[in-house]
A = this chain, B = another copy of it.
Amino acid sequence: MIFDRLIRKIIETQNPTCVGLDTSFSYLPEEMRAGKVTPAQKAEAVFSFNRGIIDSVFDIVPAVKVQIAYYEALGAAGLACFEKTCAYARNKGLFVIVDAKRNDIGATAAQYANAFFSEGAPFECDLLTVNGYLGTDGIAPFIDLCRENGKGIFVLVKTSNPSSGELQNLRLTDGRTVYECMGDAVEKWGEGMVGTYGYSCAGAVVGATYPEEAKVLRERLPHTFFLVPGYGAQGANAEMLKNCFKKGGLGGIVNNSRGILCAYLKRGGDYASAARAAALEMRADLKSVLGEICAN
């Protein structure tokens, strides 16, 4: 079960975080950008940068979250870089979460599921973000491959962005908000797939920027592991994301992208060392709120 394995790694590293490889070419140090003009040249530079980040943090963080949008912006060359980045991180023992928010009808969702969850597929990863607006038949193909190949999904439930409430916080006639309704669906999609630590293969995206909603969801969805965006650049601090966790500091993994990738701009020094220092600082920040992370 994917979250059993991830949780063991989180306990081992005492670090419920992932480094977000939302690597915009513009984030690279000037000397890595110099002379790179074509998408292929830029993509190659992004891969070098990612490799430096991964080499620098793989022993202190359990996972990376690779945001595919930044790679699509460079076309097929960007996706080749994405492919290499995912493979490199997995070879280093990191869990790879692909943040792609994929969604489609059943037959097409099966293609996406194959793309990210088939063994040996070029884009194979461990966990994938998906969007549940289309309902069960758009989610089922992912769940099938989660079961077969030990993968996991994070369904968008309450997202971290300013407008997320426009739809997600509306109230239905049955008394639930849309995000609660989506959360309930996630619990249902994960039924029969619950591991040793109590979490199913179906997780949820719950933004740290909305601690009240996070509190509601943490109580409502006992078998759902949370991917928590919003820390750092988006404005959430450690205190705000406490509600995403159960006692013992388990139940979620917090992402930080720009705060790690661009740490060198604030700290000086080389980008890889600055990223490691920022990742250690983030771990300390979270642990100051969550305490020792343990299984009960």
Residues in chain A within 8 A of chain B (CB atoms): 22, 24, 39, 67, 69-70, 72-80, 82-83, 99, 101-106, 108-109, 111-112, 114-115, 121-123, 131-138, 156, 159-168, 170-174, 178, 181-182, 185, 229, 234
Contacts and interface: CB of A to CB of B under 8 A. Distances in A.
A7 B188 CA distance: 43
A192 to B, nearest CB: 18
10 tightest Cβ-Cβ pairs between the two chains A and B: A75-B122, A135-B163, A135-B166, A105-B161, A76-B80, A69-B111, A72-B115, A137-B163, A76-B79, A136-B163
Contacts of A75: 79, 83, 115, 121-123
Contacts of A122: 39, 74-78
A63 to B, nearest CB: 18
A219 to B, nearest CB: 22
B164 A115 contact: no
Contacts of A72: 111-112, 115, 123
A160 B173 CA distance: 24
A101 B111 CA distance: 14
A99 B111 CA distance: 13
A99 to B, nearest CB: 8
Nearest to A169: B135
